[in-house]
Amino acid sequence: MAEAKVLSGAGLRGQIAGQTALSTVGKEGAGLTYRGYDVRDLAEHCCFEEVAYLLFHGELPNAQQLEDYKARLKQWRDIPDVLKEVLERAPSNAHPMDVMRTACSVLGMLEPEHDFSKQQDKADRLLAMGPAVMTYWYRFSHGGVRINCQSDEDTLGGHFLALLHGRKPTELETRVMNVSLILYAEHEFNASTFTARVCASTLSDIYSCITGAIGSLRGPLHGGANEAAMELIERFNTPEEAREGLLGMLERKEKIMGFGHAIYKDSDPRNEVIKEWAKKLAELVGDTKLYPISEAIDQTMWEQKRLFPNADFYHASAYNFMGIPTPLFTPIFVCSRVVGWCCHVFEQRANNRIIRPSAEYVGVEQRKVVPLAQR
């Protein structure tokens, strides 16, 4: 039997663990692409539903296909009454990611995937109901409001904002939400996606795969960086105070969330996009604090550590300007990344072999059991 190769490097970084036709991350000259399209190009010209269709079906939709796909998602936006009851029982201080994880698992009992022939239906259902799950729980637990889980909004981004605020979002707000969902939709073999693929490789159902992925995203080293970034930005009152405070944090070797990336070396292409939209929102709301403080932190991190903002950093202020509560930042990530997760599940199923790596044993040598009376 051939000896298993020991993979070097913490967290298996740099190791190829499979193949995908969905995206490239950090590829020289490309940055981040979905099905061959630069994510910046997609964010400029497409709505989120177009990008979801692209990832699921391999090509961008034409006008009729997009209209049909939006209609398909609209019919699945509402959530079952039993799930609403579960959400009403979740405490207001529950971690929102626990709510999202539980909702996915409950839906798996209510609308099970009996076989894989309907996997696209299940994926579209999960995608369509994400905004309602998040906002139904939040508004009920924080105000006792049982919201209508349907809206007239054409896109999921606008739908989310309408459910959250109980009003029609502005054109700019809807556009920024679409861009945000596009930027977060897919990112190759990150921790949560790999979790989904490992689960899929056992031929488990799609709800188990996505529940596991949500669990991985819940960890602070994967999801939650935009929440941490918001907490950091809100500590300071001026750009000067932010710079001084950050220098102190760096001197104390405190971890600064929202900067650097495991794959990107010079910049995160998603940051390039969301930073500009955050600036537009800042100008719209008349902000003279959060955005300048964000820029001061950005500049200081580059000067001191040559670390660049990742996708999460300017998302923090962008979401804040749209009135989105900080605890909901990472659940928004779920509502977007469910597309990528499901696509990876499909891809794994299409050419499956169970993912079962080996481990390098570093414990004590083999030994004999000493009878209990002699120990």
- Tens of pLDDT along the chain (375 residues) come to 344 454 555 666 667 778 999 999 977 666 899 999 999 999 999 999 999 999 999 999 999 999 999 999 999 999 999 999 999 999 999 999 999 999 999 999 999 999 999 999 999 999 999 999 999 999 999 999 999 999 999 999 999 999 999 999 999 999 999 999 999 999 999 999 999 999 999 999 999 999 999 999 998 888 888 888 999 999 999 999 999 999 999 999 998 888 887 778 788 899 999 999 999 999 999 999 999 999 999 999 999 999 999 888 999 999 999 999 999 999 999 999 999 999 999 999 999 999 998 888 999 999 999 999 999
Domain boundaries, the chain: 23-219+327-350, 225-322
Say what the pLDDT of residue 261 is.
79
Closest Cα partner for 182 from 50, 24, 318?
A: 50
**How many other C-beta atoms can be found within 10 angstroms of the C-beta atom of residue 45?**
10
Name residue 140's amino acid: F
User: What's the confidence (pLDDT) of residue 10?
Assistant: 60
Q: How high is the pLDDT of residue 248?
A: 96
Position 139, amino acid = R
Rounded to whole angstroms, how far apart are CA atoms 223 and 204? 24
Instruction: Determine whether 124 is an active site residue.
Output: no
Token pair listed for 259: 């900067």
In the three-class reduction of DSSP (H, G, I as helix; E, B as strand; rest coil), residue 2 is classed as: coil
Residue whose pair of structure tokens reads 């981004």 in the numeric block? 157
Q: What share of the chain is helix, strand, coil (3-state, %, to 5)?
A: 60, 5, 35
Q: Which of 159, 187, 261, 344 is catalytic?
A: 261
Model pLDDT, residue 284: 94
Residue 13: the pLDDT is 67
Burial label, 117 (beta-carbon count in 10 A; 0-12, 13-18, 19+)? exposed
* DSSP of 310-360: -TTHHHHHHHHHTT--GGGHHHHHHHHHHHHHHHHHHHHHHT---------
User: Model's pTM, two decimal places?
Assistant: 0.93
261 is catalytic: yes
What does the block give as tokens for 296? Answer: 């001061």
Question: Exactly one of 287, 312, 315, 344 is catalytic; which is it?
Answer: 312
Residue 18: per-residue pLDDT: 85
Looking at residue 11, its pLDDT comes to 65
pLDDT given at position 39: 96
The superfamily in CATH containing domain 23-219+327-350 is: Citrate Synthase, domain 1 (1.10.580.10)
What would be the CATH architecture of the domain defined by 225-322? Orthogonal Bundle (1.10)
Query: Using an 8 Å Cβ cutoff, are 55 and 34 in contact?
Result: yes
Give CA separation, 30 vs 78, 80, 328, in Å: 38, 42, 31
